[in-house]
Amino acid sequence: MEISRIPQRPEPGKPSFATRFKKGFREYRIAYLFILPTFLFMLMVHILPMIQGIWMSLLKLNQFTLNQFLRAPFIGIKNYTELIFNENNPVRQGLGYALRNTAIYSVVVTISVMVIGLLVAMLLNRDFPGRGIARAAMLLPWVVPSYVVGVLWGFMWQKEGIINYILVDILHLMAEKPFWLIGQNTIWAIIIPTVWRSWPFIMVVFLAGLQTIPEDLYESAKIDGAGRFRQFFNITLPMLKPIIAVQLLFQIINNVYSYNIVAMMFGNGSGYPGKWGDLLMTALTRQTFGYWSFGVGAAASFLLMAGMLIIVGIWYRIFRSELRVE
């Protein structure tokens, strides 16, 4: 007698994207509703302006076509070729010096604020009388707006300003009063005020991170005979690696896009800092608006953004394990 085969139930296939989306939306619809305002805000403030800037870089947008704005003549990548290959293009002039200065400025400021912020945070993390007052006092430079910092330090760096008065007349560290806003001294005239204003914020972040490290780790290290240096390199630094990674990225981005202090220090935004003081953002702003070459300026801004994306990608590969990104 032939035994009839029991029909096998077919295995269910993988659900389609639409099915998975509907199921996920029904399951997390409250979360999507909470995220929606943030998404719309990011769309209006970041994504749409970025798309508009990319479109502007493909247009012949200058003083003659500005009234047409986004309907200006389309010229493709000509703005990019002008910027890269045409040495006489007004927007390109001075960008080499600005790129060099921005690299020096970003590296020195980033390292300085990270080191100073961490050292001060470790000092303020100890228990001593008046600790709360000291913590509040350390935040004063960060409270001052950056454009005010640029104006004030611009006066302080004058030849007869307070900096030269302290260095020459009081401390006698120099034989004569130097010009800080001219020549190679200019790069230090913009680095020092930036470091002075930026390190308190890093200090607060590191201080919050230090307070999350269990004291038991340090007590165990002391029992094992570890000194302060071994405790710092074996406990403090490893525990702060995620914070260091994030703050390193933020500092690099902020310093590359730095504008206010330099712009206000030299002619309240209209002056020229010179070959050793000009940064990428001040150079692009001055050259773009000074020559009404908005299309080429938009192309330069897009190339700068692309370069920053490369830096972010390198940062991501280096610190991926510390951030535990899968």
Q: Which residues contact 325 (CB under 8 A, 6 or more apart)?
A: 316
Q: Strand, helix or coil at 45?
A: helix
Helices vs. strands in the chain: H and E counts, helices first: 16, 0
List phi, psi (to 5°) of 102.
-65, -40
Count of residues making up the chain: 326
- Write out pLDDT tens, residues 9-40: 545 566 776 777 777 777 888 888 888 999 99
In this prediction the pTM is 0.85
Q: Strand, helix or coil at 59?
A: strand
Q: Give bridge partners of residue 59 from the DSSP assignment.
A: 74
For residues 154 and 181, give the distance between their C-alpha atoms in angstroms, rounded to a whole number: 8
- Contact between 300 and 91 under an 8 Å Cβ cutoff? The reply is yes
For residues 169 and 163, give the distance between their C-alpha atoms in angstroms, rounded to a whole number: 10
- Write out pLDDT tens, residues 73-128: 999 999 999 999 988 888 888 888 999 999 999 999 999 999 999 999 999 998 88
Which residue in 71, 100, 80, 52 sits closest to 293, CA to CA? 80
User: So what's the pLDDT on residue 268?
Assistant: 58
Maximum Cα–Cα distance across the chain: 117
pLDDT at 326 > cutoff 60: no
Which residue in 150, 137, 37, 109 sits closest to 254, CA to CA? 109
Cα atoms in the 13 Å half-sphere on the side-chain side of 205? 22
For residues 217 and 231, give the distance between their C-alpha atoms in angstroms, rounded to a whole number: 9
